[in-house]
Amino acid sequence: MTAVVQVTDPIYPLAEGPLWDAAHGRVIWVDIMKGLVLEGMLEGDRLTVVAEHRFDGYVGAVACAENGSLLVAETRGLTLLAPDGTRTAGPELICQDLIPPERPSRFNDGVCDAAGRFLVGTLSLTTLSLTTQSLQARPTAVPREERLWQVGPEGATIIDDDLGLSNGLAFSPDGSLFYSVDSIPGTVWVRDYDQTTGHTGERRVFLPAGDGTPDGLAVDAAGRLWIAIWDRAEIRCHSPAGDLLETIDVPAPHPTSVAFVGPDLDQLLITTEQHAADAHDDAVIGRELSGSLFLCRPGVVGLAPHLWSGHPSPPPTTPGEQS
């Protein structure tokens, strides 16, 4: 059994989006509800916060940029956070706000491809207000109109526009496959991906909806998927063929995402959520640890995250308009 160690205090309402910044030897993650981007250093069995950056509203994801900045997915748009704290947003960074003010959505998980494009999905704020125990419990009550965007020098393109809740995103080791999670109804998709052009193939089911709600995920150097199961207190490892290989028990009930971190990318960092429905339920095991980050060594090596490289300028395009 893989040992899981608590490395932070349980202080984050919704920790998400972990990644390893090799250039600075640090861990980056977000607290969505507090609008925080956090930087931390691994010191033995502790992850020590060395800097935090507060934003108005939600922060869904973050990516490291080639110039040392951080690309931050805020509620409706993207912001570039420079090492000196300078922030660039709006038309200077991106063609327009990708989520119009009247749409009750926000950005969620994001990832960069090898060419430096940023892929980022959305979720409905209405969906979050409906959620109690399992996101899969209301599959018919949630409109399937959330989007998955690809943002790069070519512009902003909608890859999917029929999602219930866009979540974890990751690439295979050679970059030819792109995995994406729709937590409603609980499907993990896969599609072919051209890292040079950014062209995406037709999506197909990698893992169908089953027992538990998939959230964030990471891929290791052998192509295995490590998936946070939000309502089962588990991290599940699947082979490139989809077979379940291993299950890691998480001490807190709601793991949200995972990332391989450390100089050798051999440690798996797990983020968790403080779920409101657990607050007064003594039957929920591990609720006192909710909002902590955890670390384990599953005996594999992960993949280094790609970096954001460019600023888009053309207007967005819709599915089917990619060349």
pLDDT at res. 186: 95
What pTM did the predictor assign? 0.91
pLDDT at res. 130: 47
pLDDT for residue 135 is more than 60? no
**Residue with tokens 């704290």, as numbered in its chain:** 85
pLDDT at res. 153: 77
pLDDT for residue 277 is more than 90? no
Rounded Cα distance between 160 and 191, Å, is: 12
* Selection from 235, 237, 231, 246 nearest residue 285 by Cα: 231
Per residue in 151-206, pLDDT (tens digit) is 987 778 999 999 999 999 999 999 999 999 999 989 999 999 999 999 999 999 99
Rounded Cα distance between 317 and 287, Å, is: 43
pLDDT at res. 252: 96
Single-letter amino acid code for the residue at 119: L
* Selection from 197, 28, 50 nearest residue 117 by Cα: 197
Instruction: Write down all domains in the chain, each with its CATH number in brackets.
Output: 4-274 (2.120.10.30)
Rounded Cα distance between 270 and 217, Å, is: 10
- Higher pLDDT, residue 137 or 240: 240
- Higher pLDDT, residue 272 or 317: 272
Where is 130: in which H helix or E strand? Answer: helix 125-130
**Which pLDDT band, with edges at 50, 70 and 90, does 223 fall under?**
very high
70 and 61 in contact (C-beta within 8 Å)? Answer: no
219 and 179 in contact (C-beta within 8 Å)? Answer: yes
**Which pLDDT band, with edges at 50, 70 and 90, does 319 fall under?**
low
Average pLDDT of the chain is 89
Tokens of 117: 């494009």
Neighbours of 210 (CB within 10 A): 13
